[in-house]
Amino acid sequence: MRASIRWRSTVCGVIAVTGIALGTGTAHADVPIGKAMTGKMTYYNDKGYGACGTYIDPTAQDLVAVSASWWTSANPNNDPLCSGIKVQVTYKGKTITVPVRDKCPSCASTHIDLGQAAFRKLVPAGTDMVPQVNWKFVR
């Protein structure tokens, strides 16, 4: 699980106002569209404004937050990830495709954090984390 979006938005606003720039680690120059990846899958349910600048409700919307290492723009609202990039996830014979709408600051590069609604399409209630799932970025 991640920190509340409202908390992150407040911190980001304070950083923007004060002009402080914080690094998020090494950002990948290009999103590897179509490259198969294997990593951890979790879910979150914090409602609020996502990194793409739109209101999100992960309890009702299919969406995904991806690692901060994939974000390359100083203003995440303008990041290429917010322009039609999706994540296709396959787990136990089921596949879903969900849009990138948020950033997961605590996720490693192959860790995806699905909205709760999307996560439940793949995993039954009672499971909060899948240690190994196949996924890829798609357009």
CA separation for the pair 25, 23 (Å, rounded): 6
Residue carrying the six token digits 């990194």: 51
- The pLDDT value given to residue 61: 98
Look up the domain containing 65 and give its range: 5-138
| C-alpha distances in Å from residue 119, one per residue of 45, 105, 138 | 10, 19, 18
Average pLDDT estimate for 58-75: 95
pLDDT digits (tens, 9 = 90+) for 83-95: 999 999 999 999 9
Instruction: Please indicate whether residue 42 or residue 11 has the higher confidence score (pLDDT).
Output: 42
* CATH classification at residue 120: 2.40.40.10
Number of domains in the chain: 1
What's the predicted TM-score (pTM) here? 0.79
Question: Residue 51's closest CA among 62, 63, 61, 65?
Answer: 65
